Amino acid sequence: MRFQRILALVDFSEGSNAAVEEASAVALAHGAELHLLHAYGPRGIVPEASFVENGRIASDQLNKVVDKLTADGISATGEVHPGSPLDAFDAIEDAITPDLVVAGARGASRLRTLLLGSVARAVVEHAFAPVLIVRGEPAQVPYQRVLLGSDFSPDAAAASVVARALTPPGGDVHIVHVDGIPHDAIASLGSAAIDKLRQESRRQLEEEAKAIGAVPHVGFGNPAKEIVSLARELDCDLIGVGTRGKGANSWLEGGSVANAVVRQASASVLVARRLQLAERLHRHIESAREEAYGAETTDDERLGLIGTLRAVRRLADESRELEHELLHEAVAELERLVAQVENDRPRLATSLSAIVRALSRMGI
C-alpha cells in the first residue's frame, strides 16, 4: 500500500507542528501529495473585522509552512477554511479523498484550534480515511517498532494494513489480542467455556501474527490499558487499532477502546476502519434529490435522475462488496448528468459530483 494524498490538520500549535512534521515525512517516503487544512471559524464568535483579520493571518502563516515543505521537495498545498473545524474537515476530506489524515493530539486555543483533543477524537470517529494522531515529539518515519491491537475484526485488519505500510520491510511488528471478556460473562459461561474461548483467540492470534510476520502477545483485562502498557514496554513508536470491533467479545465495539488508546498513548496512534461510505453517500444523494426536485427540468428528466439516485442508494445498502457492473452504469449516468447541468445548475452538478467521488472511494 502506498499513500497518494495525505491531509494534515493545522492550527500552528506545538502539537500541530509535530503532526505536520510527521505527515511530511510520510509524504516524502511515499511520494504523496500533502494537503494542509486550517479552520478559523465559525463566524459570530468574534467581531467580523477580527474574523477577517484572523483569516488573513492564518493564510499568511499557512503559506509559509507550504513554502518550506515545497522547498524540502514535498508536493504541498494549503487551504484556510472560514468555518467550523469539523465542517472544514468534512468538506476537504470529501473533495480530495485522502489516503491518510494526520492530526496532533492537542491544539492551541478554543477559538483558534483545529486540533483540540475533542476535535481530534471527533475526526477519528468521523473520518473515512485512516487517521494518524501524533503525540509528543514527531517520531522517525518509517516507524521502527509497531504494535497492532487485534480483535480479529475487519477494522482491526484495516488498521494492520495501513500501519504496516508505514513500517519498513523487516520492521519490528508486534500484535496483541486482549481478553476483555466481562466479569459477568466469565461467571455465567464457566471456566471450561472461557478456556475454550481463550484457546481459540490464541490460535487466531498466532495465525494472524504468522501471516504478517509479527510477534504475538496475549493480554488480559482492560484492553486500552494493556495496549498502551505493552507499547511502552516494547518502546513502540506507532500503535495501530481499528475503530470498531466485531461481536459480543469485541473490545473495540463503539470505538471506546480506540479513543482510550488515543488519549493514553505516548506514541503516535493509527486508527482505521473498513471503508464504509453509505452514510455520506446517502447525504449526497439526498442533497442531489432535493436539487433535482427544485430544478427546471422536464418531468421525464427529473424522474430519470431520481430513479438513478434511488438505484445507487439501494445498491449501496444491499451489498458491502457492491454490484460493480450496475454501479458503473449509475456512475456513468451521473457523470453524463453532471456534464449536462454544470453550467445551468451548478449546485445540482456539485451534489452529483460528490456522489461520483463517494462511489469512486467505494472501489467503483
Q: What total of structural domains would you count in the chain?
A: 3
Residue 140 lies in a domain: no
Same domain, 260 and 289: no
pLDDT digits (tens, 9 = 90+) for 120-169: 777 887 787 899 999 877 777 889 999 999 988 878 888 998 999 999 88
Last residue of a domain, one of 134, 163, 198: 134
Same domain, 47 and 110: yes
Instruction: Indicate which CATH number applies to the domain containing 157.
Output: 3.40.50.620
d(CA 115, CA 104): 6
In the structure, what pLDDT confidence band is assigned to residue 108 with cuts at 50, 70 and 90?
very low
pLDDT digits (tens, 9 = 90+) for 299-356: 566 556 666 666 665 555 544 444 455 566 667 777 877 888 778 777 777 777 777 7
Same domain, 50 and 91: yes
Ranges assigned E (strand) in the chain: 5-9, 33-39, 76-81, 100-104, 131-134, 145-149, 172-179, 215-220, 238-242, 268-272
**CA separation (Å) from 124 to 64, 69, 130, 221?**
27, 25, 8, 24
Residue 139 lies in a domain: no
In the structure, what pLDDT confidence band is assigned to residue 247 with cuts at 50, 70 and 90?
very low
| Residue 139: DSSP 8-state | P
Same domain, 156 and 217: yes
Over range 24-38, report the average pLDDT: 94
Q: Which pLDDT score is estimated for 114?
A: 42
Same domain, 247 and 305: no
Q: Which pLDDT score is estimated for 329?
A: 66
Tally the residues of the chain: 364
Of residues 132, 328, 134, 149, the one with CA closest to residue 224: 149
The domain of 247 spans 145-272
Q: Which pLDDT score is estimated for 131?
A: 93
34, 129 Cβ separation under 8 angstroms: no
Same domain, 118 and 224: no
